[in-house]
Structure 1
């Protein structure tokens, strides 16, 4: 290794040790601080260098020596009147020794990322403890259910196509379940933090992340309960429902970017156009009235295994129906599936269509139109829910916002030039993909 690289490695080891040591010194850690951590990190680097010439036993001896230092330091602490004996600083010392060694044998960027993460993790002790203390049994249950869904079930599923048209891949189907449940769970925990304080904008955003349909149902039912209340601001309740619907459209764009990123530059413009219109309507709504719409209704845990299984079943049915419709009726059959699927779960048709576009089974112009039709069907369905479950005043406000969106979306599907859909913004995305 050239001398310059040797000194660069030493400098990085020293800097990472100083960074973690600074944090420990600031917290008055008695085991190790601003001097001990850089020494241990550099020790790991030196041991790794020596191991290259004299064998790996030197690296093992260095690790054992570091562990011995930790043990002796703890024994000395026991003799004091108020011993401060923990495990965090000790574990950090051992890890930083390993980071110093990894600088020699592994990727420098990875070692730097680990060292920086250690410093941040140590610094966030109070924040993390406070966050954990706020978790209830229900919240912990949600996390463990997501672990089962993503880390237990997903890895054991076969990555192979089955059934008619060879489109039912258990691994891919469940991967989409993990994606949708993950988005919902992120919104759910954001709700746990901000739910009681969420205003109109945040309430709608969180509702769209968790479930725009569930948010629509909750607020519609509440409007009927508060039918005789003089304090109910139906303009802002309608705005919350509309914001949740707009976020669900943004969620569709995110899902496409995850499943079929190469198509995003060509598929996104018409969807973004409708989203921009909805954003303008939201801004106009805030301009008229600025009062708070009230506290968000209680949200359900989106990581329940039953919910995941239901979505997995819906997604499997949709991709099978999509393949069958395309086979028997051509592209026109896809729009029928989109309308029906949009009534229940727009995520399923979005993900299945994105995979078809990614595999070049359908052309991009047809793909974005199918997704748009499903989104419009979902908007119409939510409007019907408000009409059935809410009062007339709220439905009038929602019908106006949804009606403008439906007309605009239909015009986009009908009039959007194919060449414009392929060229605008697609050139930028294409250049980005080429450069990568």
Structure 2
């Protein structure tokens, strides 16, 4: 029994096959040698594949036979094609033409049997890969092998390790599960990795305030150190360094708020006013610093001279710190109550606050409500600003004194907001 395709599926099949044919014809228009495929061949292949699929949609005998015939024909073409030489005298061994013909044939069955978005998606991707050849080859030459290795590490973190971890607590000392700990690590690594790639491969990120803004997504503390050193070594870059330090801190508030929202929306609602207010104040100060300081602005140096944020050793250290802070938070809460968590927040702010914030956001310390957690987050962010102010003075000296003062002011305002929140007046 032959299945009956819908008019919409048949129309989509023709539309996509013509779209693929047009792209093929345009791309190979300047090629002197003939290539199988094009504005007539691809629609015919798609229609043929669709009809053969409809003859036997269960066992696909006719469809498979058609694919074998197409494969034999393409194999004969490829044997001749291999003897050709390109303009550099090298053997022309590309498979793109063959794969596009196979794609056109398979498109008939895909458009008739699967959801339409799949047919549209795979065809658009095929056209983009075809027409983007030069850009993709240029990008491939720019990327170091180390970056490919790092991308593999990122895929291991997110696609291999995360699904294998248990979703239940493994100890009574904390309610945080291994999967929650690794999910927190994955989220921070994703933000860090995206910021790192933008700074490394996006030319505009090296100009203006893009670098400190992206650095705030990665680490406002590291960005403060980089910019303070830059201001001390090059007085012409003082304006950008001062504004960038404050800007990175403003982005930090938004980053923390976004991370908390992923795991605990109720907590994010309590923090949205104070954190967004502090971010707005920091961004306003950064804008005034950039506009009012008269020193000539220089091009930003590579933020980076630092390494890639996705080294597996760094990831393991983050996970270990996350677990240790979870255990410490539970112990401090048991021994000293909620006030102990506030003191711990003040201490942790002089290190890396992300593990502490993520632990609290995921309920890593039982018996502490969102209200107390919000206060602890504000305290941790404020103490972290004191640390950055210290770094700004240590590495930048008098050149970054203004930014150090701004960070201290933001820290003081954060503590005031925490007190107001504790008293219930905010």
TM-score range, shorter chain: 0.7 to 0.9
Q: Which residue of 1 aligns with 2:316?
A: 309
1:373 to 379, 388, 393: 379
Question: Residue in 2 aligned with 1:426?
Answer: none
Tell me if 1:20 matches 2:20: yes
**Mapped contact 2:224–2:245 kept (Cα < 8 A):** yes
Deviation of 1:402 after TM superposition, in Å, equals 1.0
**Counterpart contact for 1:78–1:85, Cα < 8 Å:** yes
Indicate which of 244, 252, 255 corresponds to 1:251: 255
> Does structure 1 conserve the Cα–Cα contact (< 8 Å) formed by 2:176 and 2:363?
no
Where does residue 35 of structure 1 map in the other structure? 40
Higher helix share: 1
1:88 is displaced (CA, Å) by 2.0
1:51 deviates by 2.2
Distance in 2, matches of 1:367 and 1:164, equals 21
Q: Give the match for residue 424 of structure 1.
A: none
In 2, Cα distance between equivalents of 1:212 and 1:61: 60
Check if 1:272 corresponds to 2:272. Answer: no
Deviations 1:220-240 (A, max 9, x none): 33444x2xx6x4343321222
Matches within 5 A, 1:77-92: 77-78=81-82, 85-92=93-100
Instruction: Report the alpha carbon displacement of residue 84 of structure 1 after superposing the two structures with TM.
Output: 5.0
Superposed displacement of residue 263, structure 1: 5.3
Q: Pairwise CA RMSD of aligned residues?
A: 3.2
Residues 390 and 106 (structure 1), Cα distance of their counterparts in 2 relative to 1, 3 Å cut:
same
Q: How far is 1:315 from its partner?
A: 0.9
Alignment of 1:133-148 (within 5 A): 133-148=141-156
Corresponding position of 1:341: 348
Would you say 1:322 and 2:329 are equivalent positions?
A: yes
Query: Partner of 1:390: helix, strand, or coil?
Result: helix
Which whole-Å CA distance do the structure 2 matches of 1:399 and 1:207 have between them? 17
Q: Which of 47, 67, 73 matches 2:52?
A: 47
Q: 1:114 to 1:175 in 2, by over 3 A?
A: same
Decide whether the 8 Å contact of 2:207 with 2:299 is kept in 1. Answer: yes
Report the secondary structure of 2:382's partner residue. helix
Gaps in structure 1 of 5+ consecutive residues: 422-436
State the shift of 1:307 in Å. 0.7
Task: State the distance in 2 between where 1:95 and 1:119 align.
Answer: 11
Q: State the alpha-carbon separation in 2 of the partners of residues 255 and 214 from structure 1.
A: 19
1:356 aligns to 2:363 (yes or no): yes
Deviation at 1:360, TM superposition (A): 9.5
DSSP-derived class of the 2:56 partner: helix
Q: TM-score, normalised by structure 2?
A: 0.85
Provide the residue aligned with 2:133 in structure 1.
125
- Using the TM superposition, name which of 402-411 and 377-386 deviates more: 402-411
User: Secondary structure, in 3 states, of the residue corresponding to 1:391?
Assistant: helix
Deviations 1:257-297 (A, max 9, x none): 33335654454233212111111112212221472353234
Question: Do the aligned partners of 2:349 and 2:383 also contact (CA within 8 Å) in 1?
Answer: yes
Q: Report which stretch shifted further, 4-13 or 342-351.
A: 4-13
For 1:193 and 1:310, locate their aligned partners in 2 and report how far apart those are by CA, in whole Å.
27
Structure 2 residue 79 is matched with structure 1 residue 72: no
* Partner SS state of residue 167, structure 2: coil
Count of aligned pairs? 413
3-state SS of the aligned residue for 1:86?
coil
What is the TM-score with the length of structure 1 in the denominator? 0.83
What's the offset of the Cα at 1:154?
Answer: 3.1
For residues 367 and 100 of structure 2, the distance between their equivalents in structure 1, rounded to whole angstroms, comes to: 51
CA distance in 1, matches of 2:127, 2:61: 29
Does 2:404 correspond to 1:399?
A: yes
Q: After superposing the two structures, state which structure 1 stretch, 341-350 or 402-411, moved more.
A: 402-411
